[in-house]
Amino acid sequence: MADDEAEDEGPAVELGTGEPVEGAPLARIASRLTWPQERERIRQKEGDAVIRTPDGPQTLSDVLDRVDVTYFDTRQTFVREIEGVVGTGPVPTSERSHSR
């Protein structure tokens, strides 16, 4: 029974033991939506979601306020526009974001 053997092996990837990171990855929020999507519909559906950014956690609604685009034709367009506002790069851990 191959399935029984796989269960005994444990996880394929070890999880880190570092400090937790506040907020959800932008990709997770984007995957919960269907495309195309208007900015205000995204705000209604996911606006209170907190996303991870290089400057610390931010609500998606706050970030959408700074995006000029009102209609996202694809998931990639949405991610590109949000990242254009918040940037990309290392995300601070909970400990570092509270010490700012």
- In the prediction, which pLDDT does 27 show? 94
Q: Is residue 13 one of the residues assigned to a domain?
A: no
Rounded Cα distance, 100 and 88, in Å? 19
Q: Is residue 56 one of the residues assigned to a domain?
A: yes
- In the prediction, which pLDDT does 11 show? 53
Local confidence pLDDT in tens for the 100 residues of the chain? 455 555 556 555 555 566 667 889 999 999 999 999 999 999 999 999 999 999 999 999 999 999 999 999 999 999 999 999 999 988 777 654 444 4
Residue-wise DSSP of 31-96: HTS-SSEEHHHHHHHHTT-EE--TTS-EEHHHHHTT---SEESSHHHHHHHHHHHH--SPPPPHHH
Domain that holds residue 26: 21-88
Q: Is residue 98 one of the residues assigned to a domain?
A: no
Q: Is residue 96 one of the residues assigned to a domain?
A: no
- In the prediction, which pLDDT does 4 show? 53
Give the number of domains in the chain: 1
Q: Is residue 6 one of the residues assigned to a domain?
A: no
Q: Is residue 71 one of the residues assigned to a domain?
A: yes
Model pTM score: 0.73
The answer to whether residues 22 and 56 touch, using CB atoms and an 8 Å cutoff, is yes
Q: Is residue 79 one of the residues assigned to a domain?
A: yes
Q: Is residue 7 one of the residues assigned to a domain?
A: no
- In the prediction, which pLDDT does 41 show? 97
